[in-house]
């Protein structure tokens, strides 16, 4: 069995074959590509004029402007560059939850990350990956080769959820290692200190990274369908569980979840972070296509 077939079914691969992913803001890359760069150079899209200075290539003088102003101006263009993307996948214990008969949040995150990696490599862009719980488990820098894609797939297949997490702490540790501006994709249920999480996300934005946060929840967490007495286990602390009557706190739980999701949405809007709510009940490729279409509409 090939690595990709352990992550994605043939119909899923077919579904993403025509999907494309482009950065909305300027990115930095190592080779020429299809994304806007913060650096000026030679390319198709005009950026601005600037006055000619001694040493400039006279072939770049805009003679039409000279005819109107009797002054020499140089035409500058937006350089197109390759995208550098990093996939940050939460592998903490809470990501191991799965409704009976469904895949876990972590499995869903890995499949979604595999789809995005496939699209990025197909575009000849670069993608890397970080897996973490309360520590950074793996750090694979962005590359653009098919052999690199196989390395990412292998990490996705072998990663197992477990342990606690502190999202803010992890992201602060990662910041110095993401040296070039690019795209950061985060796959998590977001179960961490929310204020600290949003503060750490703002640091990505301050460093000019474009951030997409896939907020992944299981339908049980969204609907809380439990009725009979149920044993609830803390998946991030081994051996901790309580047997409770769900009816006694269902209303309070759903209200807390609503407040949690609204605060996350408000915080992401404030920091100009793309928040993509996801349920593991939604087919992976449908969810991804919806996300990419929305990005194009709001670009």
Q: Where are the domains of the chain?
A: 3-27+83-298, 35-81
**47-56, 121-130, 232-241, 265-274: range with lowest mean pLDDT:** 47-56
3-state secondary structure of 195: helix
Tell me how crowded residue 218 is: count the other CB atoms within 10 A of its CB: 21
Tell me: domain 3-27+83-298, CATH 3.40.50.410, correct?
yes
Bridge partners of residue 215, in order along the sequence: 188, 277
Q: Give the pLDDT band (50/70/90) at residue 40.
A: very low
159-215 per-position pLDDT tens digit: 999 888 889 999 999 999 987 889 999 999 999 889 999 999 999 999 989 999 999
Tokens found for residue 100: 């009976």
Checking if the pLDDT of 44 tops 70, the result is: no
Q: What's the mean pLDDT in 216-223?
A: 96
pLDDT averaged over every residue in the chain:
85
Q: Give the pLDDT band (50/70/90) at residue 2.
A: low
Q: Report pTM.
A: 0.79
Give yes or no for a contact between 155 and 176, defined as CB atoms under 8 angstroms apart: no
Is 206 or 88 the better-scoring residue by pLDDT? 88
Q: How far apart are CA 103 and CA 173, in angstroms?
A: 30
DSSP string for 249-282: THHHHHHHHHHHHHHHHHHHHHTT-EEEEEETTS
Please tell me what DSSP assigns to residue 17: T
221 to 27, 191, 215, 279: CA distances (angstroms): 36, 12, 12, 9
Tokens found for residue 107: 């499995």
Residue with tokens 């690199």: 148
């Amino acid at each position: 069995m090939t690595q990709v077939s352990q992550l994605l079914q043939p119909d899923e691969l077919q579904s993403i074959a025509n999907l494309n992913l482009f950065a909305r803001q300027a990115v930095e890359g190592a080779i020429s590509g299809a994304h806007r760069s913060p650096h000026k150079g030679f390319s198709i899209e005009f950026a601005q004029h600037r006055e000619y200075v001694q040493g400039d290539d006279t072939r770049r003088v805009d003679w039409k402007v000279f005819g109107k102003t009797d002054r020499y101006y140089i035409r500058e263009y937006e350089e197109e560059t390759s995208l550098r993307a990093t996939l940050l996948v939460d592998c903490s214990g809470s990501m191991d939850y799965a409704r009976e008969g469904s895949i876990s949040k972590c499995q869903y995150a890995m499949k979604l990350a595999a789809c995005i990696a496939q699209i990025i490599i197909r575009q000849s862009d670069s993608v890397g990956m970080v897996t973490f719980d309360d520590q950074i488990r793996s750090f694979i820098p962005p590359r653009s080769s098919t052999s690199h894609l196989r390395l990412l797939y292998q990490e996705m297949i072998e990663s197992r959820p477990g342990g606690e997490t502190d999202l803010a702490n992890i992201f602060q540790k990662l910041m110095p290692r993401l040296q070039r501006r690019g795209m950061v994709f985060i796959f998590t249920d977001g179960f961490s200190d929310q204020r600290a999480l949003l503060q750490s996300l703002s640091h990505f934005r301050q460093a000019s990274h474009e951030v997409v946060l896939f907020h992944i929840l299981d339908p049980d967490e969204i609907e809380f369908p439990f009725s009979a007495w149920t044993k609830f286990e803390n998946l991030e602390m081994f051996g901790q569980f309580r047997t409770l009557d769900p009816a006694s706190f269902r209303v309070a739980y759903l209200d807390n979840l609503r407040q949690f999701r609204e605060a996350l949405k408000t915080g992401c809007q404030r920091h100009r972070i793309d928040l993509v709510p996801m349920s593991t009940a939604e087919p992976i490729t449908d969810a991804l296509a919806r996300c990419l279409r929305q990005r194009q509409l709001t670009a």
